[in-house]
C-alpha cells in the first residue's frame, strides 16, 4: 500500500499526538482538511495495512520505573537471522527487534533487541532466560546498558512527526 | 508519581486498539466504568507527569522520512562535549551513553537518506571520530505495546 499525499499529511499530523478533547479526530480532520468520518476510516485502513503499527496510549518506560534499558546485540549467521529475528521479535521481553548491518572489524553484530526492566539484575536475568529459551545461548551477544540519556524526543522528519 | 488502579488499567489496556470512533475517550471511559471527562483528565495528568508520551501512533519504520542508528567510540574526556555536539542537531532524536567501547549511540531521523548521511558526515568532520552507520535492514518486532507489571 502506497501512501497518498493525504495519508502522509494525516500520519504526520497524527504522530504529534491526538488532542485530549472529546472529538480528537475532528481536530485532526481540521488540521489536514478532511472530514472526521474520512479520517477515522483512513486510520482504520492504515492500521489494517500495517502502516500504523499501533494506535493508542504511548508510555515512557523510564518514567514508569523501568530504569534499566539494555540494547542486546547478537551475532547470528546470515542464513538464520530472519528466523531468529522473528522469534525474538515476538518475545514479550523485547520492545524492538531490528536487523542491521555488521561493520567488521568494529562491529560483528547483526541483530538488535531492546529490553527494559526495573534494574540491571532483572534485565540481565530476562536476557539470559530468553537466550536459553530460544536456543541462542551459544551465539555471541553483548548487552549494552544505557548509562546516560543525553536526548530523547520524537523525530522531526521535516514536519511534525514522532517515532518511538 | 502516584497512580491508582484506574490509571494503571488506562496505561495497560489502551496502548493499542484506540477505539476508532468519533468519541474514543468516551468509548474508553465506558470500558473503565468512568466518565469521558475523567479519562481525558487522567490522560492529561499522566502526560504532564511524563508517564505518557502521547496518545498517538507508532508507524512502520521508514513510512515517512529516513533514519539510522549511529555509534561512536568517544574518548572519555571528550564524551560530554561530543554528546552535546551531537544532541544539538535537530535531526538527532535519541542520544544515549552506553557502557561499551562504542559509548555514544544516537538516532538520526530526517527527510531523506542523503540528509541522514549529511548529518553523519558533518559529525565525523567536526569531531574527527569515526561514526558507524547502522541503518535498519529489517524490522521483526510485533508491537503490542509494553506489558506493565505493577509491584
Question: For position A97, which CATH number holds?
Answer: 3.30.70.3460
Residue A1 touches chain B, beta carbons under 8 Å: no
- Beta-carbon contacts of residue A119 (< 8 Å; ≥ 6 apart): A67, A68
Residue found by looking up cell 506493565 in the block: B148
How far, in Å, CA of A72 to CA of A109, rounded? 10
Where are the domains positioned within chain B?
A: 5-48, 66-134
List, in sequence order, every residue forming a beta bridge with A126; answer none if it has no partner: none
Q: Are residues A67 and A126 in the same domain?
A: yes
Tell me the β-bridge partners of B133.
B70
Above 70 in pLDDT, residue B84?
yes
- Full domain range(s) for residue A84: 62-145
- Report pLDDT for A60: 86
Query: Distance between CA B130 and CA B120 in Å, rounded?
Result: 9
Chain B: residue whose CA lies nearest to A63: B51
Of residues B136 and B64, more confidence is placed in B136
In a domain, A158, yes or no: no
Across the range A47-69, mean pLDDT stands at: 89
Banded pLDDT at A163 (limits 50, 70, 90): very low
Right CATH for B66-134 from 3.40.710.10, 3.40.50.720, 3.30.70.3460, 3.20.20.110? 3.30.70.3460
pLDDT at A164: 36
Name the DSSP letter for residue A103. Answer: B
B85, B87, B106: which is closest to B96 by C-alpha? B106
Q: Is A159 within the bounds of a domain?
A: no
What is the value of pTM for the model shown?
0.83
List the Cα angle B78/B79/B80 in 5-degree steps.
100
CA distance B105 to chain A (A): 9
Buried b (16+ CB within 10 A) or exposed e, A43-80: beebbeeebbbbbbbbbbbbebebebbbbbbbebeeee
C-beta separation of A131 from A123 below 8 A: no
Closest partner residue to A89 (CB to CB) among B64, B98, B140 is: B140
CA B127 to CA B78: how far, in whole Å? 10
pLDDT at A162 > cutoff 50: no
Q: How many domains does chain A have?
A: 2
| Shortest Cα–Cα distance, A121 to chain B (Å) | 15
Which residues of chain A have a CB within 8 Å of the CB of B18? 55-57
Is the ipTM beyond the 0.85 threshold? no
Which residues on chain B are in Cβ contact (under 8 Å) with A14? 56-57
Whole-number Å distance between alpha carbons of A144 and A114: 10
Question: CA A110 to CA A142: how far, in whole Å?
Answer: 12
A88 CB within 8 Å of a chain B CB: yes
Amino acid at each position: 500500500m502506497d501512501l497518498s499525499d493525504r495519508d502522509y499529511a494525516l500520519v504526520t499530523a497524527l504522530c504529534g499526538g491526538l488532542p485530549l478533547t472529546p472529538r480528537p479526530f475532528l481536530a485532526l480532520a481540521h488540521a489536514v482538511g478532511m472530514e472526521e468520518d474520512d479520517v477515522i476510516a483512513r486510520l482504520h485502513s492504515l492500521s489494517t495495512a500495517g502502516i500504523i503499527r499501533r494506535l493508542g496510549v504511548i508510555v515512557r518506560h523510564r518514567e514508569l520505573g523501568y530504569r534499566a534499558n539494555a540494547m542486546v546485540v547478537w551475532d547470528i549467521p546470515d542464513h538464520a537471522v530472519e528466523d531468529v529475528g522473528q522469534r525474538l521479535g515476538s518475545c514479550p521481553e523485547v520492545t524492538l527487534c531490528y536487523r542491521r548491518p555488521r561493520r567488521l572489524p568494529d562491529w560483528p553484530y547483526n541483530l538488535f533487541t531492546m529490553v527494559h526492566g526495573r534494574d540491571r539484575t532483572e534485565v540481565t536475568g530476562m536476557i539470559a532466560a530468553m537466550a536459553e529459551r530460544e536456543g541462542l545461548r551459544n551465539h555471541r551477544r553483548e548487552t549494552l546498558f544505557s548509562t546516560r540519556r543525553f536526548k530523547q524526543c520524537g523525530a522531526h522528519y521535516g514536519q511534525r512527526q514522532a517515532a518511538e | 508519581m502516584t497512580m491508582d488502579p484506574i490509571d494503571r488499567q488506562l496505561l495497560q489496556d489502551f496502548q493499542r486498539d484506540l477505539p476508532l470512533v468519533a468519541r474514543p475517550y468516551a468509548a474508553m471511559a465506558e470500558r473503565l466504568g468512568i466518565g469521558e471527562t475523567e479519562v481525558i483528565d487522567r490522560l492529561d495528568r499522566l502526560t504532564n507527569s511524563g508517564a505518557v508520551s502521547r496518545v498517538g501512533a507508532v508507524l512502520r519504520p521508514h513510512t515517512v522520512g529516513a533514519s539510522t542508528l549511529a555509534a561512536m567510540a568517544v574518548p572519555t574526556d571528550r564524551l560530554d562535549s561530543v554528546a552535546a555536539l551531537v544532541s544539538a542537531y535537530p535531526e538527532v532524536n535519541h542520544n544515549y551513553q552506553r557502557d561499551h567501547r562504542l559509548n555514544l549511540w544516537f538516532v538520526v531521523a530526517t527527510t531523506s537518506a542523503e540528509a541522514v548521511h549529511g548529518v553523519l558526515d558533518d559529525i565525523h568532520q567536526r569531531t574527527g571520530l569515526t561514526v558507524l552507520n547502522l541503518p535498519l535492514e529489517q524490522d521483526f518486532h510485533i508491537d503490542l505495546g509494553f506489558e506493565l507489571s505493577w509491584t
